[in-house]
Structure 1
């Protein structure tokens, strides 16, 4: 009697690609050495390792390139949608207590919020620089990291005096990995270039210098452009395909394009379509 066949062994999951394999794929996409590169990446469920992607990019960009990521902290606020979601359902006393114990933003220690594992892998890497904005900071590695991150004014979340604005003037590029244009921070810079952009008040908790070089935590309010990403997906949908390089990195979709091209297109679109 012939014995029944043994059940097939389950397939062995493929190992996630390492930094060298990712660097090859990034090079095929169009990433080149010496580039200043702003990256948005969503790695959840992809099997990609944040440190491998970071090392692939820094290795490919080389000693004269710069890697930049958003390291935002939107919950450090009384006005952001992230903060409003956090306090939904709380009583006035509970909101007041939460506000009283909210820690001030610390560029060296405060983790980013909602930016993903890749942004944190860059922020926490040895030698990383971080800008000082308490809500929309950036982290960077490479030749121009310190210079891009310095002087990030409170009243310029994502304007000309932010790392984003500096990089735009210097010919930077944008790389989107496993995300779409709806999270393309570059489009926000166009909001600062609209004639008479709408303004609003913001509030966040920061470390305040006192006489005698002492520091305390305190709330500060300031006015800046009213940021709105609700139409970014549509702006991206109309971005000319001829200006975008598409490919795959680690098995997921990726897009590479000029930061200045993205800002110029968004400005044209907003000028025509926003009211």
Structure 2
């Protein structure tokens, strides 16, 4: 059976740069990007071409930031898609490799973040499950100091991005991928959970704020209705651009009104969840 020809549009490094600049991306700014490579069309050079286009749009003074989560480094008791047999749990906990920012791959966030993670000069934060990687002059400022007991709160890169007036770029993804909203969860009354992960000294349990992306699509729809969000296309991808600080402030108010008082069950951060499109 012959392979069908690719569908378009044809997207190049220059396409990405030009259309991001037309959307309103500013050279020199800091951009937290959530992305789906396949949504762009047929990208010449694949993820490398897309990353080059992003860096071209930001210029030498800009900083590109992506989530590089590694949710598989979590308690197998919480894995759901798929689960593993209970009799395996103790062996998995005892033998799971520890987080290494230079080696541990990202998972569940697409191929563009994994490409950024391995880019020459990229820096990555220290949290073993919810790290971020960055390229550019502010990379160290953003990634340093990510506390290993603070997934996406005040001692994470999200708070640094808010302070730096960074913006969020949803490049072919929906609001369900918007990690910025999680920072708001740390600023409203929330339940706590015990989460496990491997460390050089053995298996470790950490008390953390319970977080979930449940209803983030609804939150994002209301945010877009009430606040300025730049919308456009890069290739075939629906694209949105908005300030981190604006999104966090809106989410704080929205979650306080719409999030039920009882806690959501907290799953391992993207651990063993279905992978989004790449």
- Which TM-score band (shorter chain)? 0.7 to 0.9
Query: How far does residue 11 in structure 1 lie from its aligned partner after superposition?
Result: 7.9
Match of residue 272 from structure 2: none
Match of residue 15 from structure 2: 21
Alpha-carbon distance in 1 for matches of 2:163, 2:9: 40
In 2, are the aligned partners of 1:70 and 1:137 still within 8 Å (CA)?
A: yes
The reply to whether residue 175 of structure 1 matches residue 159 of structure 2 is no
Alpha-carbon distance in 2 for matches of 1:162, 1:191: 13
Uncovered stretches (5+) of structure 2, i.e. residues with no partner: 262-278
In 2, are the aligned partners of 1:133 and 1:157 still within 8 Å (CA)?
A: yes
Question: 3-state SS of the aligned residue for 2:37?
Answer: coil
The reply to whether residue 105 of structure 1 matches residue 90 of structure 2 is no
- Identify the match of residue 81 of structure 2 among 77, 85, 97: 85
In 1, are the aligned partners of 2:229 and 2:241 still within 8 Å (CA)?
A: yes
- Identify the match of residue 197 of structure 1 among 190, 212, 221: 190
RMSD between aligned residues: 1.9
Q: TM-score with structure 2 length normalisation?
A: 0.85
Greater RCO between the two (CA within 8 Å, min separation 6)? 2
Match of residue 44 from structure 1: 38
Q: Deviations over 1:133-177 (max 9, x none)?
A: 001000110011112111100121001111111101110100001
Match of residue 6 from structure 1: none
The reply to whether residue 136 of structure 1 matches residue 130 of structure 2 is yes
Query: How far does residue 205 in structure 1 lie from its aligned partner after superposition?
Result: 0.7
- Identify the match of residue 61 of structure 1 among 53, 58, 63: 58
Alpha-carbon distance in 1 for matches of 2:77, 2:240: 29
Q: Deviations over 1:58-115 (max 9, x none)?
A: 122122211100000111111685x343434x141x2322333211111100000111
Q: Deviations over 1:102-135 (max 9, x none)?
A: 1111110000011110001100100000001001
Match of residue 231 from structure 2: 246
The reply to whether residue 231 of structure 1 matches residue 208 of structure 2 is no
In 2, are the aligned partners of 1:69 and 1:122 still within 8 Å (CA)?
A: yes
Alpha-carbon distance in 1 for matches of 2:10, 2:243: 29
The reply to whether residue 76 of structure 1 matches residue 73 of structure 2 is yes
How many pairs does the alignment contain? 253
In 2, are the aligned partners of 1:76 and 1:135 still within 8 Å (CA)?
A: yes
Alpha-carbon distance in 2 for matches of 1:80, 1:29: 44
Q: Residues 12 and 225 from structure 1, CA distance in 2 versus in 1: closer, same or farther, beyond 3 angstroms?
A: closer
Question: 3-state SS of the aligned residue for 2:223?
Answer: coil
Question: 3-state SS of the aligned residue for 1:134?
Answer: coil
Alpha-carbon distance in 2 for matches of 1:177, 1:80: 33
In 2, are the aligned partners of 1:243 and 1:261 still within 8 Å (CA)?
A: no
